[in-house]
Structure 1
Amino acid sequence: MAGVSFLVLIGTSGFRSLPSVVLTPLHDEMGWSYSTISFAISLNLVIVGLAAPYAAALMERLSIRTVLSGALVLITLGTGLPAWMTAPWQLVLLWGVLVGAGCGAISLAFVATLTERWFVKHRGIVSGILTAGSTAGQLVFLPLLGRLSDNSSWRTASIVVALGSLITVPFVILLLRDHPREMGLTAYGAEEVPEGAPGSEAEVPETGHTAKSAFGVLRQVARTHEFWLLAGSFGICGITTSGFIQTNFIPAAHDHGMTTTAAAGLLGIAGVFDIVGTTLSGWLTDRYDSRYLLLVYYTLRGVSLLMLPWLFSDMVTPGMLVFTIFYGMDWIATVPPTIRLCQDAFGSSAGVVFGWLWTAHQLGGALATAVSGVIRDNFGTYTIVWFTGATVCLAAGAMFLAMRPSNSPERAGVRL
């Protein structure tokens, strides 16, 4: 199940790398402003975030296969049809609405749901590997899409992403399963085999999600200190990854004379090291306090963003290469410890709760994308963007100093 899920996340991650590659070509060919294109990307991020908790709830009511298959079809339509668009509203509808809904259904809330059902042992490292599949795929695709955009057109890159999503559909239908009981198994690492024959309902933990709406879960967790700290910090994660770096790194490098292919190659390198960093973070999450891991991750990310404005050049320098490797290691290393804190605090409701955390992540990314487009149009540079990212990262790290440990008396009764 981990392997199939990894493939699904890789197959759907192409769109996340597409906007940064085609942003400048769209601006040049269609004559649309950076603000207009950034609005479509921002709307996508908002809908991805809003769709995540509902998709997690739908996976309880219907099935993972049904939800994921429908999402892949939406992504295929939303990335393939733009090759024939002629007006900005079409970009907003296809990128913003269709792809947003599809990507929201196959977000990291899916990772939280799957690991909660299928894994007891090594849950942290599996979360890390699946998270790496989602984010590394976005970055590893960049060199290919950048080359297609440079040598052919942005339309070719868009169609390739659509085909990648479509090819993934049969794997979901044929190989993915909802619960271990469907295969006569228990969750990996479960200490005891539940009573009852294989495939009985006894093998499924009682989640209570089915009778709850996504908003019902939100109303409960919104009363807790832990939820707001996790949501706030994860929103900052979205600001500094999908909002600032993923959308704006290539245009910023282009402003300094670097080619799109070279800048995309740097983010591709970041994607490779993201696999290493996120998997290592999962391993560390199984062994150390997640609060302190997140304090370190966000602090180091903030320091690296402070240095970024002085690293841009018209060529790939050693300093920029070091930044790329480091930022790749730290890119989404925040997810495994965030999922662990969510699971510790909210138990079997963690899938839907993490869906709301993902909403915060995407809203942060959407806000950052929109603001950075306005900054670029008005100031002609992204320097303010990088300094803002550094400041909020340092604030996110400080948040975890205020979070109580999972075994503290004050946390008693928090789990739903």
Structure 2
Amino acid sequence: MTQTTDVSPPAGATGPLPGPRRTRVHRAWFVAAVTFVTIIGAAAFRSLPGLLIDPLHEDFGWSRGTIGAAVSVNLALYGLTAPFAAALMDRFGIRRVVAVALTVIALGSGLTVWMTAAWQLLLCWGLLVGLGSGSMALAFAATVTNRWFTERRGLVSGILTAASASGQLVFLPLLSWMITHHDWRPAAVTVSLAALAVVPFVWLLLRDHPADVGLTPYGATEFVPKPAPVRGAAGRAVRVLLSAARTGPFWLLAGTFAICGASTNGLVQTHFVPAAHDHGMPVTAAASLLAVIGVFDVVGTIASGWFTDRFEPRRLLAVYYALRGVSLLFLPMLLAPTVHPPMLFFIVFYGLDWVATVPPTLALCRERYGEDSAIVFGWVLASHQVGAALVAFLGGVARDVFGSYDVVWYASGALCAAAALMALVIRRRPAPPLTVPATA
């Protein structure tokens, strides 16, 4: 992690030249640490939807399909906002965009305390929290990784992706205890306060680019000037989408990531707690199992980042999706009133694979789309959340219609098998042709 930075100014630069600096630990790792803490603090809102389904159903009499619709709006906006957020970070800077996003999350979560109708749940939790969380999506981690690192990108993207799981680990047991012993409203207020508490860290400690502090990116040998603000953020995000949509790998990446979202955020994170409760398991026990998923997700995602730096990303994705599909097919047989060893094995196994797909997917986006990779990944993430939104809604409808979630588990397992095959079809980017110098 140590690096000596010989800062060379860009051509045509004027003014005093920054001298070489030796930093024991490169500043990029501090920026990554602040980003990690920020995502953890914002992860409280990712922990709450699955815990709210039964309390809101009992409190207001709303159907699970109605509550699932609000969660699906949240998940869809979480994804659809991401590519525009990446472009806004290029225009206004990371600090400003993330600070505003955290404030919007706090506002949306806090207002749910006074809601009395289902449309207010759609507005507060669906619209406001969805828009705010979308700006705090994985495009944030991708932007930080691309700007501050030229080496160890797979490892860093894995660590930052694991931050969301770490936040789930921190908040799930606390929020489930609040809901069980008090009410869902204190849990919503806790989410709001957690988002607000992170804002000062972002504003005071986060920096937009290594050039802001006179450093090269970690692993770089030459000075990288800070790019000028890119105007027309929305237009750029759309142009990048139209360009990427003309390529086959984009649709394969988007399709596999849609299935990833359907089988994690949309299915397990939203419906595992009520499904386990249907089988007699206490809510606190089911929430604790999700927290354990968060523990092993950290290990699995960081390991996946390490593997991505060393192995072919397409094959990693195929293995991850295949194993996830097999585990989902066994889940209906494992749900019971108590926690038993086979269920713990599923939790550990699924946790290791939860978002291990992110580092190889991000690596493939970077390989295929270069400087636009963060925005392209934002659109791929949008498909992830659209898939999650569909299953969050359809899972609630399936529970209302069939009286259980079994059909949803089996269908998701089959989709994961399809995703494994799709990952293998993604073609590698061809190597550039050798340049042969002309002879006189």
Name the TM-score, length of structure 2 as normaliser.
Answer: 0.89
1-structure distance, mates of 2:229, 2:155: 23
Q: Counterpart in 2 of 1:413?
A: none
* Amino acid aligned to 2:60: M
Bigger Cα Rg: 2
Shift of 1:203: 2.2
For the 8 Å contact 2:91–2:229, the answer to whether it is kept is no
Shift of 1:205: 6.2
2-structure distance, mates of 1:28, 1:44: 21
For the 8 Å contact 2:35–2:160, the answer to whether it is kept is yes
For the 8 Å contact 2:74–2:127, the answer to whether it is kept is yes
Query: Are residue 204 (structure 1) and residue 226 (structure 2) matched?
Result: yes
Query: Are residue 403 (structure 1) and residue 426 (structure 2) matched?
Result: yes
Match of 2:393 among 370, 381, 384: 370
2-structure distance, mates of 1:409, 1:307: 45
Q: Counterpart in 2 of 1:15?
A: 45
For the 8 Å contact 1:302–1:390, the answer to whether it is kept is yes
Match of 2:356 among 313, 330, 333: 333
Change (3 A) 1:98 1:404: same
Match of 1:228 among 231, 246, 251: 251
Q: Counterpart in 1 of 2:296?
A: 273
The within-5 A match list for 1:81-160 is: 81-160=111-190
Change (3 A) 1:327 1:140: farther
The within-5 A match list for 1:15-414 is: 15-190=45-220, 192-194=221-223, 202-204=224-226, 213-407=236-430
Give per-residue Cα distances to partners, 1:21-68, cap 9 Å, x unaligned: 121111111111101100000001111111111111000111111110
* Amino acid aligned to 2:398: I
For the 8 Å contact 1:41–1:369, the answer to whether it is kept is yes
SS at structure 1 position matched to 2:81: helix
Shift of 1:147: 0.7
Change (3 A) 1:210 1:88: closer
* Amino acid aligned to 1:106: M
* Amino acid aligned to 1:394: A
2-structure distance, mates of 1:140, 1:363: 26
Structure 1: tracts of 5 or more residues without a match: 195-201, 411-416
- Matched length: 402
Shift of 1:134: 1.7
Shift of 1:207: 10
1-structure distance, mates of 2:72, 2:155: 31
2-structure distance, mates of 1:19, 1:139: 15
2-structure distance, mates of 1:401, 1:48: 27
* Amino acid aligned to 1:274: D
2-structure distance, mates of 1:252, 1:396: 24
1-structure distance, mates of 2:228, 2:421: 35
Q: Counterpart in 2 of 1:198?
A: none
Shift of 1:139: 4.4
Structure 2: tracts of 5 or more residues without a match: 1-30, 434-440
Shift of 1:392: 0.4
1-structure distance, mates of 2:98, 2:227: 22
RMSD after superposition:
1.5
Shift of 1:230: 0.5
Shift of 1:405: 2.1
2-structure distance, mates of 1:209, 1:336: 29
* Amino acid aligned to 1:280: A
* Amino acid aligned to 2:183: S
For the 8 Å contact 1:207–1:348, the answer to whether it is kept is no
2-structure distance, mates of 1:341, 1:374: 35
Shift of 1:136: 3.2
Name the TM-score, length of structure 1 as normaliser.
Answer: 0.94
Shift of 1:400: 1.7
2-structure distance, mates of 1:206, 1:343: 21
For the 8 Å contact 2:212–2:226, the answer to whether it is kept is no
2-structure distance, mates of 1:170, 1:247: 30
Shift of 1:409: 7.2
* Amino acid aligned to 2:156: V
2-structure distance, mates of 1:407, 1:257: 54
2-structure distance, mates of 1:176, 1:332: 25
Change (3 A) 1:236 1:139: farther
For the 8 Å contact 1:207–1:349, the answer to whether it is kept is no
For the 8 Å contact 1:60–1:210, the answer to whether it is kept is no
Change (3 A) 1:303 1:384: same
Give per-residue Cα distances to partners, 1:346-380, cap 9 Å, x unaligned: 01101111110110000000001111111000111
1-structure distance, mates of 2:281, 2:153: 41
* Amino acid aligned to 2:426: M
Aligned-pair identity in percent equals 54
2-structure distance, mates of 1:409, 1:176: 37
1-structure distance, mates of 2:85, 2:266: 22
Shift of 1:83: 1.3
